Amino acid sequence: MLKSVCFFAFLALVVAVQLTQVEGVCTNIVANCADEHVHCPSQCEAFGRGVKPIGSSCDFYNLCTCTYAHQVTGQFGVNQCEIGMGLCTDDCRNDCCYARCEIKYPKSGVGYCVQDYGLDYCSCTYRRR
């Protein structure tokens, strides 16, 4: 009996850990990696104003996306996180973009289509604790 209680307690703990969202990670789109003058890691250092990024990537449609351990106040006084959620199309405009963002970040996510860096993409802004 004790073994089965321990097993179920352990199983519940594993499931709880798997379903817990990481609260400390914040991303921001800061530049277009196609620009020959853009070095994404350097852009992330500059955007974070002294906060060391924990990663950078040009994987989302060649846009420089920086990852920080927490929210940072960026170049334009931005104190929120932003991530791309795909391209906006005739079939997926602001309502669709908003829904995508709200599903991923139900407590704070707001999605809207943005025409920037030569793309029309779904920008999802969200806040982390």
Compare 15 and 79 and report the one with higher pLDDT: 79
- Cβ atoms of residues 119 and 31 within 8 Å: no
Phi, psi (deg, nearest 5) at residue 15: -65, -40
Give a yes or no: residue 16 inside a domain: no
Domain count, the chain: 1
Mean pLDDT of 89-105: 96
Give the domain extent around 95. Answer: 23-126
What confidence tier does 76 reach under pLDDT thresholds 50, 70, 90? Answer: low
Instruction: Return all residues near 63 (Cβ < 8 A) that are at least 6 apart.
Output: 29, 31, 32, 33, 84, 117, 119, 121
What confidence tier does 13 reach under pLDDT thresholds 50, 70, 90? Answer: very low
